[in-house]
Amino acid sequence: MSFNSLKHMFGNSRKWFKYSVVFCVMIHFIYLISLPLYISPDGFDYIRLANLFFTDKMYVDWNYLRTPLFPLMLRLYGSVVGFNAFTHISFLTLLGLFSALSLGYLVKEKSGAGVGAVIVFVLSLNPVLIAFEHSLLMETLLCFSFCLFLVLLNLKIKNIFYHSLLMGIYVGILYYIKPNLLVFVLPAGLFLSYVFWIRTNEKLLKKITQLIFVNLIVVLIPIIIASPWAKKASGKNDAAKRGFLLAGLLIQGVFPKDSEMLGKKKTEYEEALNRFSKTGKLEIQGIIGDPNFYGILDQLFIITPNPGLDFVSVVRANPSAYFHGLLNNIKLMLEFDHPYNETVNFGLMLFHSHKNLISDIRDDRVLYDYVQERYSFSGGVNRVQRVLTHSVDLYRILLRMGWFFTVLVFLLGLWKKNPFLLSVSFVPLFWASVNLVLLLSSARYFFPVSLIVISNSFIFLFYMYSLLKKNERLRFPF
């Protein structure tokens, strides 16, 4: 084969993008048949809620801490292909597959087929994505939701009002996946406002008036869409909903030891702090591993009438502990090692198991027996699992690089006034900021944007290469 023919073969980026799509589909099929399923206590709850759909007991027995879209999707998919381990794995695998392909397609359209192909190849081998595809949790749905959010945000819709209506409807649907996703009205509104501002030559007053209408649409449409379920959920599990805002402060030991909000649990809280502290500072995972943790958390659920004000008052009372908790959460975001790292631990459990992993739940033996009967499976640890085990450390390196390059992509987007670069950087930075401020203290909460974060390394490098190739002078204004 001549040099020119090799150059032609490797230089055809569109062809390589097609190859990457085929590879992504094939490798996901291999994962599908090679790895077991992990059902956590949360997974049991999703199965129970899925079985409640289309029954008379649905609204009576529903857990109103959860919204209905994910259980409904499980129910509808299961109704077509059956309820068993393979059903759920195949459904979650499709979500993971569509996440990689939709993000790769967006990058292909905005930055070129070459970088799109590289991203699809890399994301196809992401061990933590694969682990969540085989864990009955909603993380893969969140991954797909964020990738689709970026695709919709970057659609070429000339009429800004139609685009804002579309984004408003989509954010309203996100509420039914997880209520806190309503915060995405902010990046949606900011992005549409920025694009409208730099691309429109109207008079200033008219611009401002139109922007107000755009943002009203983006904010009000999700509220209207969310209101039917919000009314159903009103008054249900309100104590737990209030306490959720303070859970991160508790995990990272920000509460003063004599806080009245701890009630009768002050002694247990102090013992937990002593148990998980080294040199006077809490370890990265906080006190979540303490056997009394959930009992202390229940106390907050009971005694917290105004979580927003209580959050501020606790932080003001112990700012140094809050700052230390913030540093711990940054380490969690960057996948530093600790005993309760859900993302990596999920993967390693699955990659070393020869059977489906089913958590033992003691409060509902009927549901447990139902799951054991339908989901039990055993086989043998295979080569695919061994390869994935060794790829976890590479994933951590790519993720840490990705966060660094995500910041650079954001700065580059500001410099070049490039809406695409701003969207793929601001969305993960925004989501990370929400989790960091609340000290949610779980790597799992940062995971849904990890595909976008890892992709940003390649987007930045390819973009800089294209600038250098054009001999453009790189004069940074910052």
Looking at residue 346, what is its pLDDT? 61
Looking at residue 285, what is its pLDDT? 85
Asked whether residue 9 carries a pLDDT value surpassing 60, the answer given is: no
Looking at residue 371, what is its pLDDT? 62
Looking at residue 220, what is its pLDDT? 96
Cα–Cα dist 311/29, whole Å:
46
First to last CA, the chain: 48
Tens digits of residue pLDDT in 312-321: 888 999 999 9
Average pLDDT over residues 348-368: 65
Looking at residue 152, what is its pLDDT? 97
Question: How many C-beta neighbours within 10 Å does residue 137 have?
Answer: 23
Encode 395-425: b = buried (16+ Cβ within 10 Å), e = exposed. Answer: bbebbbebbebbebbbbbbeeeebbbbbbbb
pLDDT band at 364 (very low <50, low <70, confident <90, very high): low
Please say whether the beta carbons of 231 and 67 come within 8 A. no
* Pairing relationship of beta strands 38-39 and 277-278 according to DSSP bridges: unpaired
Asked whether residue 10 carries a pLDDT value surpassing 50, the answer given is: no
Average pLDDT over residues 282-290: 87
Asked whether residue 377 carries a pLDDT value surpassing 70, the answer given is: no
Looking at residue 200, what is its pLDDT? 80
Q: Which residue matches tokens 């919709």?
A: 152
Asked whether residue 67 carries a pLDDT value surpassing 90, the answer given is: yes
Looking at residue 241, what is its pLDDT? 63
Closest CA to 85 of 32, 27, 164: 32
pLDDT band at 179 (very low <50, low <70, confident <90, very high): very high
Segments in 318-418 forming alpha helices (H): 319-333, 342-351, 365-375, 383-416
Looking at residue 370, what is its pLDDT? 62
**DSSP string over 59-77:** HHH--TTS-SHHHHHHHHH
Please say whether the beta carbons of 385 and 53 come within 8 A. no
Average pLDDT over residues 334-339: 76
pLDDT band at 476 (very low <50, low <70, confident <90, very high): very low
Tens digits of residue pLDDT in 425-450: 999 999 999 999 999 888 889 999 99
Asked whether residue 1 carries a pLDDT value surpassing 50, the answer given is: no
Looking at residue 158, what is its pLDDT? 87
What is the longest distance spanned by two Cα atoms in the chain? 79
> Whole-prediction pTM value?
0.91
Q: What percent of the chain has pLDDT over 90?
A: 46
Q: Which residue matches tokens 């805002």?
A: 245
CA distances from 353 to 311, 336, 341 (A): 41, 23, 18
Residues in the chain: 478
Average pLDDT over residues 382-398: 84
Looking at residue 391, what is its pLDDT? 86
Average pLDDT, the chain: 85
Asked whether residue 474 carries a pLDDT value surpassing 50, the answer given is: no
Helix (H) or strand (E) run with residue 127 in it: helix 127-133
Looking at residue 441, what is its pLDDT? 84
Asked whether residue 297 carries a pLDDT value surpassing 50, the answer given is: yes
> Looking at 67-71, 72-76, 215-219, 364-368, which range is the least confident one?
364-368
Average pLDDT over residues 79-106: 91
Average pLDDT over residues 169-191: 95
The segment with the largest mean pLDDT, out of 33-37, 74-78, 466-470, is 74-78
Average pLDDT over residues 55-66: 89
pLDDT band at 386 (very low <50, low <70, confident <90, very high): confident
Asked whether residue 5 carries a pLDDT value surpassing 50, the answer given is: no
